[in-house]
Amino acid sequence: MSRDRRFPDEVAGPFESPPRRFEDREGREIEIRAHDGSEREYEALASMYGEFDPADRAQGIPPSDDRRIREWLDNIFCDACLNVIAWDGDTAAGHATLVPDDDAHELAIFVLQEYQEAGIGTHLMEALLGHGAESGVGKVWLTVERWNQPAVGLYKKIGFEISDSESFEMEMAIRLTDGSDEGG
Amino acid sequence: MRILLGVGGSDDSLRALERTIERANEAGDDLTVAILDEGGTDRTVDDIEADVKEALDSGGIEADIRYVEGDPGSKLVDIAESEGFDRIALSGGTTSPMGKIQLGSTAEFVLLNSHVSVSLIR
């Protein structure tokens, strides 16, 4: 799956790395932390994706049944992958992930329905990109359905630029460091 | 049913071929395999043909093999419509490192333009 991707020339950020705490627009105390590799966090995420509204799936993820959810989580919790999770107490409210791809990383972000439109997505994105930058990630890309204007707006606000609008899904990209990607 | 299956050089195309052969065996479909020159792969048309023949042999099924030159999407639609096929079958796309399904330009063109029913194989 290697093909030439375009990335902005200018470096975005800096982004503050996790952990970070804030009160969301619904008054909930949210904490964002990097994934600690524990079984407890894995199970909390499997539970979050089990409750995920199928209407909020994007290009087939998250999968809809428990077995496929766990296969997918195993894939995106690879050694070189980076994951941050938004917590409301012991409940996983959102999750953002960077998965290595040649000399860059692919990004995806998910916020559980009842926690959407509360400012959590912006914090999650910034925390993940901060975590990525401090871990040596230089270039990040994502795809988004072109009708999903709230998501496109969020990505633009963070500093993503449209890099390919000729496919079914729109591709957007951001540069975190001057050099090439040093791994994750 | 007369099926026209488009096969390019990617792994997902070969998976779609195996699934379509299984299905043809069960349903008694009349299968034609169209070898597409989609680019974006190291496999030559000869490599793809060898894979197709091997899959047909091991599936115990006979099928016409066609070579499609030029734009793969428009040629597939043209063949299916002008020669009375009942259905076009294609790989349902590749997946990104993240696991997101990505539809290729051939599938996109065929879905939007074909008047013959289309199956995306996953």
Q: Report, as an integer, the average pLDDT of B38-48.
A: 84
Q: Please state, in angstroms and rounded to a whole number, the distance separating the CA atoms of residues B104 and B72.
A: 11
Q: Measured in whole angstroms, how far is the alpha carbon of residue B15 from the centre of its chain?
A: 10
pLDDT greater than 90 at residue B40: no
pLDDT at site B59: 94
pLDDT at site A165: 85
pLDDT greater than 60 at residue B23: yes
- 10-residue stretch averages of pLDDT, chain A, 184 residues long: 79 95 98 96 97 92 95 96 98 98 95 96 97 96 92 95 88 88 48
Higher pLDDT among residues B95 and A24, named by residue: A24
Interface test with A, best of B98, B105, B106, B109 (most A CBs within 10 A): B98
pLDDT at site B10: 84
pLDDT at site A2: 47
- Ranges of beta strands (E only) in B1-122 are 2-7, 30-36, 64-68, 87-91, 94-95, 101-102, 117-121
Domain map (residue ranges) of chain A:
20-175
**CATH fold of A20-175, please?**
Aminopeptidase (3.40.630)
Helix, strand, coil shares, percent, chain B, to 5: 45, 25, 30
Quote the radius of gyration of chain A (alpha carbons, Å): 15
Domain map (residue ranges) of chain B:
2-121
Contact A114, A121 (CB under 8 A): no
Which residue blocks in B28-104 are alpha helix, DSSP H?
45-59, 72-82
Which residue blocks in chain A are alpha helix, DSSP H?
39-50, 66-76, 120-134, 149-158
pLDDT at site A159: 97
pLDDT at site B104: 85
pLDDT at site B81: 97
pLDDT at site A183: 45
pLDDT at site B56: 96
Q: Number of C-alpha atoms within 13 angstroms, CB side, residue A74?
A: 6
CB-nearest partner of B97 from A100, A167, A168: A100
**CATH fold of B2-121, please?**
Rossmann fold (3.40.50)
- Helix, strand or coil, per DSSP, at residue A86: strand
Residues of chain A with a CB closer than 8 angstroms to some CB in chain B = 1, 3, 58-61, 72, 75-76, 97, 99-101, 106-108, 143, 167-169
Q: Please state, in angstroms and rounded to a whole number, the distance separating the CA atoms of residues A87 and A90.
A: 6
Contact B29, B117 (CB under 8 A): no
Nearest residue in chain A measured CA to CA from B41:
A1
Which among A103, A124, A99 has a CA at the least distance from the CA of A112?
A124
pLDDT at site B43: 86
Contacts of A100 in chain B (CB under 8 A): 97
- Tens-place pLDDT, residues B2-14: 999 999 988 889 8
pLDDT greater than 50 at residue B101: yes
